[in-house]
């Protein structure tokens, strides 16, 4: 299940909720103030790529050129 971010319209607090894909904000309340009016927020995700000498990508190759073009 993905983690979604919501913003309380009453106090402005941003919080996260673990929900099924496609779930709505129905029934959610702000953990800070208890406000019922919350909206889903756009958020970014983090990823990391190894850097430095000798670092390899997840495919085990030192550069993306050697990782292949995709799935077959």
Q: Which is more confidently placed, 5 or 50?
A: 5
pLDDT band at 60 (very low <50, low <70, confident <90, very high): low
Residue 20 lies in a domain: yes
Q: Which domain holds residue 10?
A: 1-43
Give 3's contacts (C-beta < 8 A, 6+ positions apart).
16, 17, 18, 19
CATH code for position 19: 2.20.28
The verdict on residue 65 lying in a domain is no
pLDDT digit string (tens) for 9-52?
Answer: 999 999 999 999 888 899 999 999 999 999 999 877 666 666 66
Residue 16 phi, psi (nearest 5): -115, 145
Phi, psi of 7 (to 5 degrees): -125, 130
């Amino acid at each position: 299940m993905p983690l979604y971010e919501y913003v309380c319209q009453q106090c402005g607090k941003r919080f996260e909720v673990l929900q099924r894909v496609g779930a709505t904000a129905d029934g959610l309340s702000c953990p800070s103030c208890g406000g019922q009016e919350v909206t889903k927020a756009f958020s970014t995700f983090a990823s990391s790529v190894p850097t430095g000498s000798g670092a390899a990508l997840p495919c085990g190759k030192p550069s993306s050129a050697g990782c292949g073009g995709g799935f077959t």
